[in-house]
Amino acid sequence: MSVYLNKGTVIMSNPPSIRSFAAAAGRMEGEGPLGSCFDYVSQDSTFGENTWEKSESRLQQHALEHALAKGGISESEISLLFAGDLLNQCTGSAYSVRDIGVPFVGLYGACSTMAESLSMASIFSDNGIGKYNVALTSSHFCSAERQFRFPETYGGQRPPSAQWTATASGCVVVEQHSAPPYVKSVTIGTIKDMGIKDANNMGAAMAPAAYATIKTHLENTGLNVDDFDLILTGDLGEVGTRILCDLFKKDGVDLESVHNDCGLMLFDREKQDVHAGGSGCGCSASVLCGHILGRIKSGELKNVLFTATGALMSPTLVQQGESIPGIAHAVHISAE
Amino acid sequence: MEMFMEYLRAFLVGGALCLIGQLLIDLTKLTPARILVIYVVSGVILGALGWYEPLTRFAGAGATIPLTGFGYQLAKGVYLAVSESGLMGAFTGGLQACSGGITAAVLFGLLVALLFKRGDKTAKIFS
Amino acid sequence: MKMTDNEYGSLAKKCSPNTKMYKTLPMAFIIGGLICCIGQGFMNIYKSFGMNMSDAGVMTSITMVFLSAVFTGFGLYDRIAKVGGAGTLVPITGFANAVVSPALEFKTEGYVLGTGAKMFVIAGPVIVYGLCASVLYGIILYLVRLV
């Protein structure tokens, strides 16, 4: 039985295992520094479909199919599927699995969905609920832009703090304790809003939530920053990373030495025009599932605190002059 | 030489009007839509005051192409229509004057939607 | 983190890179100026066809809108706009791009509810406030003339 500590931390009693994982991505992500890590890369952002929303669903299906294949299980063996994305009503996820007959839990955590879904899958598995629980998420640049920002062909100018929504997906299959990687504990984040209203500076909007969640997790588990090989945030990007490290520095903690950010890892910011870095649910999902989990499985990384971050705004509320609330969920994944 | 000067004036005035817009983008929190509204309403006001006409005579397309020129057209159209038809002209004059540009945008918008593929910023540039 | 929203805002600002205005300002000036020169060229062409100033002006607007629509359709206008900024936003070509791009983007929702309904989702305010400002001017003009 998992143990709930205060402020959202859940300690696994018998750490569930990550049975298999896979990542799928688009052309730009495939051409980035982690391109060779992905299980499936498409040169064509349509993924063979005639609407961007369907393209995102197809992208998710690739990640799911590969993760199931690598885990040697079929769709019918999935106990519970926790999935979400950026699209209104999470249609990217709902439509990607509508035909496979799986018990479906739709989630919205904006770009933090990978950590949110993995947390849910792990907690359920730790408590013996479900044999194989799946966490799945995605984002697609084109479907996100038309919903949150502007049409593709619109001639707008993005400021340097803006981030690039990744066209990518990640999927994790969780089972009861068997072999590494293990999920040892999670911290479900609390929403933090420090008044940032600039929808072009998501990093600044989300950094307070990342700070709060990481701090809560360390305090509750009694661990330090140095107990981790890597504290990996989802998509704080250049700006959010700087702010996060600054906030920890004010506490006298050196986060920089173990910190990295999926938004900064996914793209080559010199060669690819992504400004402050990658973003979107698929950003942290694909980096985790494509690059990080493999290194934990091999033992190269022993302890990782995967902290995906999300901005819980909508274009409507931004137009109403509201500020942007952020959230971050942390998952301690270990090789031991 | 005269032709070169004509293009130079268009270039300088048009460029300057755009430069002001860029300063608004870079230094303020104004969104592009709000900036365009400021431009068109300014054009109406400057046109109404009679201050924009000399600029169009001086710079030609340098004054008429930027969106302030659109506002000026609206004001000019209303002026002529009120002179001819009285109060009704306030309602008819603006749209009449800009009908060409607006109709063109609507028509070509539809045609492009019918004939072209959706845009995709993630695709490779064909060049 | 014991910080007020204002203090956090200052920290965020400090950590956010500034726009490279030494790049954006000259490019806006140059590209905006060039687009106006192209407009001037068409004015001269239409005047040489014997059109009066007014008609040449209308034809020039239509032509510039057409060119902007084509560039938008090919995905070229937004590439120029990336460097041009206000140089592509402010001219009438920017207005046309703001109409054509949603028309093209939302065609997946159908030509009526997508293209038709959403065509003015970006440029609508220009029409609304431009027209209303002109109506106000017209009313004032009429009343001033009465007096």
Tens digits of pLDDT across chain B (127 residues):
888 999 999 999 999 999 999 999 999 989 999 999 999 999 999 999 999 999 999 999 999 999 999 999 999 999 999 999 999 999 999 999 999 999 999 999 999 999 999 999 998 875 4
Q: Which of C1, C78, C104 sits opposite A211 (nearest CB)?
A: C1
**Does position A100 have pLDDT exceeding 50, yes or no?**
yes
- Predicted pLDDT of residue C146: 84
For residues A170 and A188, membership in a common domain is answered with no
B75 interface with C at CB cutoff 8 Å:
yes
pTM, 2 dp? 0.95
Clarify whether residues A51 and A136 are in a common domain.
yes
pLDDT at residue B124, as a whole number: 80
Compute the C-alpha angle A230/A188/A9, nearest 5°: 80
B126 touches A: beta carbon within 8 Å: no
Q: Which whole number is the average pLDDT over A119-131?
A: 98
What SS3 state is found at A144? helix
The model's pLDDT over A195-244, given as tens digits with 9 standing for 90+, comes to 999 999 999 999 999 999 999 999 999 999 999 999 999 999 999 999 99
CB contact under 8 A, B122 and A45: yes
d(CA B20, CA A309): 37
Sign of CA dihedral C112, C113, C119, C120: positive
In order, the DSSP letters of A30-65 are HTSTTGGG-SEE-SSTTTT-SSHHHHHHHHHHHHHH
Q: How far is A150 from chain B (nearest CA, A)?
A: 11
In 3D space, the residue among C39, C85, C56 whose CA is nearest the CA of residue B11 turns out to be C39
CB atoms within 10 A of CB A11: 17
ipTM exceeding cut-off 0.85 for this assembly: yes
Could you tell me if A54 and A167 lie in one domain?
Answer: yes
| C-alpha to C-alpha distance for C81 and A304, rounded to whole angstroms | 42
Q: Examine the fold and report which residue of A175, A198, A232 is the final residue of a domain before the chain moves on.
A: A175
Q: C17 CB contacts (<8 Å, ≥6 apart)?
A: A160, A161, A238, A239, A276
User: With an 8 Å Cβ cutoff, is B89 touching chain C?
Assistant: yes
The verdict on residue A9 lying in a domain is no
- The reply to whether A22 and A170 lie within a common domain is yes
Among A152, A175, A198, the domain-final residue is: A175
| CA–CA distance, B121 with A143 (Å, rounded to integer) | 11
DSSP for residue C106: G
pLDDT tens profile A305-328:
999 999 999 999 999 999 999 999
| Per-chain mean pLDDT for chain C | 96
Give the closest residue to A113 by CA, choosing from A148, A144, A84, A80: A84
| Measured distance CA(A121)–CA(A102) in Å, rounded | 14
Residue A26 has its nearest CB partner, among B25, B119, B122, at: B122
C8, C81, C102: residue with CB nearest A151: C102
All chains having 3 or more CB pairs closer than 8 angstroms to chain B: A, C
Domain membership flag for residue A1: no
> Residues with Cβ < 8 Å from A235, sequence gap 6 or more?
A111, A163, A202, A203, A206, A261, A262, A263, A277, A278, A279, A280, A283, A284, A308, A309
- Residue C73 corresponds to which amino acid? G
Q: Which of A143, A175, A207 is the last residue of a domain?
A: A175
Q: What is the pLDDT of residue B25?
A: 94
Q: Check whether residue A25 and residue A146 sit in a common domain.
A: yes
User: Which two tokens mark A287?
Assistant: 């980096």
The mean pLDDT value for A158-169 works out to 96
C11 pLDDT band, cuts 50/70/90, is: very high
**Residue at A5 is within a domain:** no
Helix (H) or strand (E) holding A174: strand A168-175
Which pLDDT value is given to residue C58? 95
Of chain B residues 12-41, which have a CB less than 8 A from chain C?
12-26, 32-37, 39-41
A163/A231 same-domain check:
no
* Residue A125 in domain: yes
Neighbours of C110 (CB within 10 A): 11
Extents of the domains making up chain B: 2-126
Residue C35 has pLDDT above 50, yes or no: yes
- Residue A297 belongs to some domain of the structure: yes
Q: Which of B110, B39, B32, B113 is nearest to B69 (CA)?
A: B39
Instruction: State pLDDT tens for residues C48-57.
Output: 999 999 999 9
Q: Are residues A157 and A42 in the same domain?
A: yes
Smallest CA–CA distance from C85 into chain A, residue: A157
pLDDT of residue B127: 40
Q: What is the pLDDT of residue A36?
A: 96
On the CB side of B92, CA atoms within 13 Å amount to 10
The tally of CA atoms less than 13 A away on the side-chain side of residue B29 is 9
Is residue A315 a contact partner of residue A293, using CB atoms and an 8 Å limit?
Answer: no
Work out how many domains chain A is built from and give that number: 2
Query: How does pLDDT run across A257-276, given as a tens digit for each residue?
Result: 999 999 999 999 999 999 99
* Mean of per-residue pLDDT scores for chain A: 97
pLDDT digits (tens, 9 = 90+) for A167-186: 999 999 999 999 999 999 99
Rounded Cα gap, residues A66 and A38, in angstroms? 10
Angle subtended at Cα C72 by Cα C68 and Cα C75, rounded to the nearest 5 degrees = 145
With a cut of 70, say whether residue A45 has pLDDT above it: yes
Domain ranges for chain C, please list them: 23-120
Token pair, residue B15, equals: 């460029």
Report residue C111: phi and psi, to 5°. -75, -20
Q: How high is the pLDDT of residue B126?
A: 57
**Domain holding A111: CATH number?**
3.40.47.40
pLDDT for res A126: 98
A205 in the same domain as A139: no
Chain A residues within an 8 Å CB radius of C32:
none
Residues A44 and A114 in one domain: yes
- State residue B1's pLDDT score: 82
Q: Determine the Cα–Cα distance for residues A16 and A289; give it in Å rounded to an integer.
A: 16
Contact across the interface for B25 and C85, Cβ inside 8 Å: yes
Do A129 and A225 reside in the same domain of the chain?
no
Percentage of chain A with pLDDT > 70?
Answer: 100
Domain containing A249 equals 182-334
